[in-house]
Amino acid sequence: DTGVSQDPRHKITKRGQNVTFRCDPISEHNRLYWYRQTLGQGPEFLTYFQNEAQLEKSRLLSDRFSAERPKGSFSTLEIQRTEQGDSAMYLCASSLADGSNEKLFFGSGTQLSVL
Amino acid sequence: GEDVEQSLFLSVREGDSSVINCTYTDSSSTYLYWYKQEPGAGLQLLTYIFSNMDMKQDQRLTVLLNKKDKHLSLRIADTQTGDSAIYFCAEGRGGADGLTFGKGTHLIIQP
């Protein structure tokens, strides 16, 4: 399977703990996105990378959130001192930005529950 | 700011056509997309349309775009039980803005 993969699928944590999620994009894609989706809502943009450079961050991304893509391949999203309001589905997407239509391909997401 | 609006639910009978509507506000959108999400899964790209097109057909799917009214629709012909899902409309220019999604339309199929 050469799609976008995310790990873990589910994460349950206690308030105040740190969590880290991983995303492996489609191998030839140069852009990688993180989105957050809460119940009854569409995905909301968090941040994106062009190769290893993080080019944009949403105001939704507080100081407790950090994302990396060290070698321009996989990416990690870390949430420090989790809060109950962080409970959501975290979706990763990748795309090949080649100057024409940019199609985002999504992974299955990581469902985070903060108790 | 950018906004994408969709009705929350649509109920159709199996075999009928489903028409899911969407309105958007960003006139500079380059592409408009339809994604499908099944329970517990990520988003699957169904189809997209470039902003200078009026219509695009892909097997059972037909996308209509009225750029003047900023209205997008997705028609699914011969709706099947496997089409039951949440359908998201999204608009964007790619890159820094990512895509802006609507809240999704739950398509319910009646036997």
What's the pLDDT tens digit per position in B41-90? 889 999 999 888 899 999 999 999 999 999 999 999 999 999 999 999 99
Q: Six-digit token pair at A6?
A: 């995310």
Nearest to B84 by CA among B50, B41, B30, B23: B41
Which helix (DSSP H) or strand (DSSP E) does residue A64 occupy?
A: none
At residue A56, does pLDDT exceed 60? yes
Give chain A's end-to-end CA distance (angstroms, integer): 33
CB of B81 within 8 A of CB of B26? no
Tell me what the mean pLDDT of segment A93-101 comes to. 78
Residues of B in contact with A101 (CB under 8 A): 31, 48, 50
CB of A61 within 8 A of CB of A9? no
Cβ B88–A35 below 8 Å, yes or no? no
Tell me how far CA of residue B75 lies from CA of A24, B1, B16, B22, B57, in angstroms: 33, 28, 10, 12, 9
Q: Six-digit token pair at A96?
A: 């090949």
- Best B24, B43, B105 member to test A by mutation, with max A CBs in 10 Å, is B43
For residue B22, which phi and psi values (nearest 5 degrees)? -150, 140
CB of B14 within 8 A of CB of B110? yes
User: Between the ranges A95-109, B64-78, B86-100, where is the mean pLDDT highest?
Assistant: B64-78
Q: Six-digit token pair at B99?
A: 């895509």
What is the per-residue pLDDT for B94? 61
pLDDT digits (tens, 9 = 90+) for A10-48: 999 999 999 999 999 999 898 999 999 998 899 999 999
Tell me what the mean pLDDT of segment B24-49 comes to. 89
Measure CB to CB from residue A109 to each of B42, B50, B97 and give the nearest one: B42
